[in-house]
Amino acid sequence: MQDAGRNRPMLAGLMRGALVAAPARAAAHLWTVLWQLTDAGPAGREVADPVAVAAAHIEAHLATPLTVAAVARVAGVSHNHLTRLFRARTGSTVVAYIRRRRVERARHLLTASTLSVTAVAAAVGIPDLQAFNKVCRRELGESPRALRRSFTAR
């Protein structure tokens, strides 16, 4: 057991969301909490790094529409400054990071959960199924259903 530290309010909100959500959405909320817990560092360490704050915000809000300006506000820096910091630290843009995290989360949910493709798409912030299929084909090389089938056939 570990103290959630400054992440406690966010994790508590996600857990409350899971309690009132429909069953498919509840599972998605719980997966988000688990992702947050696995990415959490020691609770006593305060993070003032704008890139770390932005990344944590992105992780906690992947299911919602995210803009660079809104993420920068949360991180306490300007849009341009966050873009420069992100590129220096990660070699990619904030938008590319958000896209990559959504695809990684989608791959995980498709291969490790029984959530419907619709619920997975909503959980990663791409509620339009046509757009989600297109992203999966482009980034993962196959449709969501094919990815799930190929993983379960192993």
Mean pLDDT by 10 residues, the chain (154 residues): 65 72 69 66 58 92 94 94 94 94 94 92 93 94 91 67
On whether the CB atoms of residues 36 and 60 are closer than 8 A, the answer is yes
Residues 6+ apart with CB under 8 A from 6: 43, 46
The pLDDT, as a whole number, for residue 37 is 66
| Phi and psi, residue 77, nearest 5° | -135, 170
What pLDDT was estimated at residue 45? 45
Q: Distance between CA 11 and CA 128 in Å, rounded?
A: 26
Q: What is the pLDDT of residue 13?
A: 72
